[in-house]
Amino acid sequence: MNKEQMCQEMKDHLTGTLIPFWRRLRDDEFGGYYGSLSYDLALDRKAEKGCILNSRITWFFANAYTLLKDPVLLSEAEHAYTFLKDRCIDHQSGGIFWSLNYDGTPSDKTKHTYNQAFCIYALSSYYEASGDQEALDLAFDIFHLIEDRCRDEIGYLEAFTVDFKPESNEKLSENGVMADKTMNTLLHVFEAYTELYRVSHDPEVGKKLEWILDTFADKIYNPQLHRQEVFFDRNYRSILDLHSYGHDIETSWLIDRGVDVLGEEKYRQKMAPITMNLAQEVYKTAFDGHSLANENDRGKVNQNRVWWVQAETVIGFYNVWQKHPELTQFRDAALSEWEFIREHVMDHRTGSEWFWEVNPDGTPIEGRPIVEPWKCPYHNGRMCMELIRRGGL
């Protein structure tokens, strides 16, 4: 298989599987999209609707329309945006809730910086697709809210009550630690601000992108271990020996893309060695020639092949090869990873899309849902759309 064939297969997968699957989850009675499909493909119409899930679905259909120009996709994006605007966003205290009940009433009113970022990401893409100024205005409202309410003098904080009083960060703390700051939230604020800057060229957003890049280079990236640190205290001191392979390969291409959007040469020179180093280390330590392990927690490697990690691996390795065509091993790695996804991570049962995770040999790990608040079309849909664009289709 060559890169042209891979990109065409991804276009076929996007239009033939992912888009139809997520369209079927549309809730025309209460709005948004149904929040749960079990491993056994049982749809729960009364499951909670995660606001991150609905932000990502809005982003997905908006970008699919921008790429493919099918008016049906714009209709889906509008449906998703209307639910996001009318139900997920808190018009009293500001920002976006964590989750809603199936009928669109608030369930978990936590305000999390990570979640605010994904709302900006969705609103920016919907503005690009639709030209609706209201969406861009809402994106800037949340941008200013993050900058005014969700940070201290050295970085972004994590979790807040409904009226933005700080609370503990269970939602983005894992592996037995409780983090005051996380690489993951910083990364996705950067991703959201990249989209907002791309569609607006607002100089204030550009300055925040520069600040985040400096923070990644100076506080998140560990040059001795060739990785990012993941969980931190308030002063950006790492609190866990963890190498998150998926986040490192995702970061490598998201920062490269953000630097391209920003267009400042000094940041290209500052960040390019770091993103290259992240991708090379992941390739060397976590890629077995076919697929990528999940993470290394205090010396113990989790070998599960998680759906989103595999999707980000394709983009990350392909991105390295595009920037350095002489490094053909990264092209070959992207192709091999796609073959693994196609054969093992995709769930070929009628009415499904991708498994949550599989074993290194490709056998599915049973029991994990096909759809839930974190399992969405963001990673696999974005992989397809990135490769379609990069492949010139």
Q: How far apart are the first and last CA of the chain?
A: 16
Of residues 365, 379, 296, the one with CA closest to residue 57: 379
Sequence-distant contacts of 241-245: CB under 8 A, at least 24 apart: 241/297, 241/298, 241/299, 242/175, 242/295, 242/296, 242/297, 242/298, 243/285, 243/286, 243/295, 243/296, 244/183, 244/295, 245/282, 245/285, 245/286, 245/292, 245/293, 245/294, 245/295, 245/296, 245/309
Q: Amino acid letter at 388?
A: I
Nearest to 267 by CA among 278, 256, 276, 251: 256
- Whether 171 has a pLDDT exceeding 90, the answer reads no
Which of the four pLDDT bands, split at 50, 70 and 90, describes residue 169? Answer: confident
Residues near 25 by Cβ (< 8 Å), separated by ≥ 6?
A: 33, 34, 37, 43, 371
CB atoms within 10 A of CB 202: 15
The label of the residue with tokens 């950067």 reads 190
pLDDT for res 393 = 60
The predicted model gives 30-47 an average pLDDT of 98
Position 200 confidence tier, pLDDT thresholds 50, 70, 90: very high
Q: pLDDT at position 212, please?
A: 98
User: What mean pLDDT is predicted for residues 234-246?
Assistant: 97
- In the predicted structure, residue 47 carries a pLDDT above the cut 70: yes
Confidence label for 190 from pLDDT (cuts 50, 70 and 90): very high
Return the minimum-mean-pLDDT range out of 116-125, 169-178, 381-390. Answer: 169-178
State percent of the chain over pLDDT 70. 99
pTM greater than the 0.75 cutoff: yes
Positive or negative CA dihedral for 298, 300, 304, 309?
positive
Residue 220 confidence (pLDDT): 98
Q: Is the pLDDT of residue 392 over 80?
A: no
| Cβ count within 10 A of residue 79 | 20
pLDDT digits (tens, 9 = 90+) for 273-295: 999 999 999 999 999 999 999 99
Mean pLDDT computed over 40-56:
98
Q: What is the DSSP string of 244-269?
A: EHHHHHHHHHHHHHHHHHHT-HHHHH
Identify the CA nearest to 241 among candidates 281, 300, 298, 302.
298
Residue 89 identity (one-letter amino acid):
I
- Residue 310 near residue 340, CB atoms below 8 Å: yes
Q: What is the CA radius of gyration of the chain?
A: 20
- What mean pLDDT is predicted for residues 109-132? 98
Where do the DSSP E strands lie in the chain?
49-50, 99-100, 106-108, 111-112, 159-160, 181-182, 221-222, 227-228, 231-232, 242-244, 295-297, 300-302, 305-306, 357-358
Count CA atoms within 13 Å of residue 248 on its CB side: 32
The band of 317, judged by pLDDT with boundaries at 50, 70 and 90, is: very high
Provide the 10 A C-beta neighbour count for residue 360.
15
Which CATH fold would you assign to the domain 3-390? Glycosyltransferase (1.50.10)
Which pair of tokens denotes residue 383? 């992989």
